Structure 1
Amino acid sequence: MEIIPGIYAINTHRLGRAYLYREADKLTLIDTGLTGRSADVSAAIEQVGRVEDVRQVIITHWHVDHTGSLAEVAERSGAQVLVHTLDAPIVRGERAGPGPQGAWRYLGPLFERVGKPALPTRVDRELSDGDEIDLDGGARILHVPGHTAGSIAVYVPGRRLLFAGDAMANVFGLRPPIGVLTEDKVQARASIRKLAELDFDIACFGHGRPLDRDASRAVRRLAERLG
């Protein structure tokens, strides 16, 4: 699905999305979907260009529904892999990520069955808050911890566009990230307030449909509601 010219949503599972950003000479992939879905992701890319044209893969956070197909896509494309420095060790397989929070931790094995662990993958660049990346004349990385310690959003001011990752979800309305898998709910709310300070028309989420008009206003309303 083309959201605006050059920006495509890739459905990676029932409510999950990765995104493809097309520029004249390269493609950028934002997140990669679940383990075992690399063929679907590759097929979606090939509707726009070639997998080999993917020059960078930006991972918004380490969860398997965002990194599951990273190893295969990175190997096939040779793309640079960009991850926040706090989530990078998990993506590389150097340590395990935290499991479900609160009482839900007892259902950890069930979550593992739904999403098989991602294969360890190289990380070519570790990101920090405020970093600029080579995307459409310059995009800014925003550290938005809460859902995971190293969650990021990608802000493209020239297109008035925000890729929010799982800092928010647009599922039955705009809302905070899924609580059972959110490591720190206080930080998550603070991250939403941080994003509410930006000015953008379009917001893309890891879960749920993009907002294609007045998106920053909707995010500000969410931040106000959360207090």
Structure 2
Amino acid sequence: MRTVELSLSLYQLRFDVGHAYLWRDADDSLTLIDTGTVGSGEAIAESIRGLGLGPEQLRRVVVTHAHQDHTGALAEIAAWGGEVTVMAHRLEAPLIRGESPAAEPVFDQSPDWERALYENMPPLPPAPPARVDRELADGDVLDFGGGAQVIGVPGHTDGSIALYLPGPGVVFTGDAAANVEGRTMLGVFNVARDRAVASLRKLADLGAETACFGHGEPLTRGASAALRTAEIPVRES
């Protein structure tokens, strides 16, 4: 894992599969958005130490959705102790707790390459069940970054969320969007593609300057414009 400083308050944690993000408030309290795959907990702790802080300064973990590349290390991190609060959308919480399985993506409107990509991906280790302390809903406001707005972005999963920080103009998209090889695009492997497209439009309308994606390079300027013109791959006829 590699830590990339995007601003004085924002750090990307780059994994082989997907990314997580750390937000540092002025009082040095930390918020982690997503957790990477199983076994990533110690690397995240080392990243925090590399900022001159300690894992005990992590106050909250917000999970954008329940897939294993976003929740794999959640159980490890939740076991650190301290005052960390784990948050996820109410529809994702049962999946994270291991009470119900995740839905499979639906490819009836997707291009053929997307199905092939999914079928040929090396399997990731399943995420162990983990606790969720607070179940979120669209419109909730969280106490970091000057007030982080929870944005419901269903489509990739039923309970996918993004987080928007209006003050610094930062949006964490989860897998509602991606930015791969210089192409901002609709995220792949969706359970409801029409809803995913509507959620992408919702993100574009926020007016964010910086976008932090679950997959691909972050955009530190012009994010809203990039999201507005994002590619929406169509099924070949």
User: Which of 7, 22, 43 is the equivalent residue of 1:4?
Assistant: 7
Give the RMSD, CA atoms, in angstroms.
Answer: 2.1
Write out per-residue CA displacement over residues 8-45 of structure 1, whole angstroms, 9 at most, x where no aligned residue: 0001224x110001112410000000012222222112
**1:29 lines up with 2:38 in the alignment:** no
**1:82 lines up with 2:91 in the alignment:** no
Deviation larger for 149-158 or 16-25: 16-25
**1:134 lines up with 2:143 in the alignment:** yes
Paired residue for 1:117? 126
Question: How far did residue 223 of structure 1 move?
Answer: 7.4
Question: How far did residue 102 of structure 1 move?
Answer: 4.2
Write out per-residue CA displacement over residues 153-178 of structure 1, whole angstroms, 9 at most, x where no aligned residue: 00000101111111100012101111
Letter in 2 for 1:64: Q
Paired residue for 1:151? 160
Would the aligned equivalents of 2:185 and 2:231 in 1 still touch at CA under 8 Å? no
**1:186 lines up with 2:194 in the alignment:** yes
Q: Which runs of structure 1 show a deviation greater than 6 angstroms over 4 or more consecutive aligned residues?
A: 223-226
Paired residue for 1:71? 75
Looking at structure 1, the residues matched to 208 and 144 of structure 2 have their Cα atoms a distance apart, in angstroms, of 16
Paired residue for 2:184? 174
Looking at structure 2, the residues matched to 119 and 224 of structure 1 have their Cα atoms a distance apart, in angstroms, of 33
What is the SS of the residue equivalent to 2:37?
Answer: coil
Would the aligned equivalents of 2:142 and 2:149 in 1 still touch at CA under 8 Å? yes
Looking at structure 2, the residues matched to 47 and 95 of structure 1 have their Cα atoms a distance apart, in angstroms, of 37
Q: Give 1:205-220 correspondences, 5 Å limit.
A: 205-220=213-228
User: Which of 20, 23, 34 is the equivalent residue of 2:22?
Assistant: 20
**What residue ranges of structure 2 are gaps of 5+ in the alignment?**
109-114
Paired residue for 1:98? 103
Looking at structure 1, the residues matched to 232 and 187 of structure 2 have their Cα atoms a distance apart, in angstroms, of 16
Looking at structure 2, the residues matched to 224 and 187 of structure 1 have their Cα atoms a distance apart, in angstroms, of 13
User: Which of 59, 65, 88 is the equivalent residue of 1:61?
Assistant: 65
When residues 114 and 43 of structure 1 are mapped into structure 2, their CA distance, relative to the original with a 3 A threshold, is farther
Would the aligned equivalents of 2:185 and 2:232 in 1 still touch at CA under 8 Å? no
Looking at structure 2, the residues matched to 46 and 22 of structure 1 have their Cα atoms a distance apart, in angstroms, of 13
Report how many residues are paired.
220
When residues 196 and 224 of structure 1 are mapped into structure 2, their CA distance, relative to the original with a 3 A threshold, is farther
Would the aligned equivalents of 2:20 and 2:214 in 1 still touch at CA under 8 Å? yes
What is the SS of the residue equivalent to 1:10?
Answer: strand
Letter in 2 for 1:189: V
Question: How far did residue 137 of structure 1 move?
Answer: 2.0
**1:160 lines up with 2:169 in the alignment:** yes
Looking at structure 2, the residues matched to 95 and 156 of structure 1 have their Cα atoms a distance apart, in angstroms, of 31
Question: How far did residue 98 of structure 1 move?
Answer: 1.4
Question: How far did residue 99 of structure 1 move?
Answer: 2.8
Looking at structure 1, the residues matched to 67 and 167 of structure 2 have their Cα atoms a distance apart, in angstroms, of 29
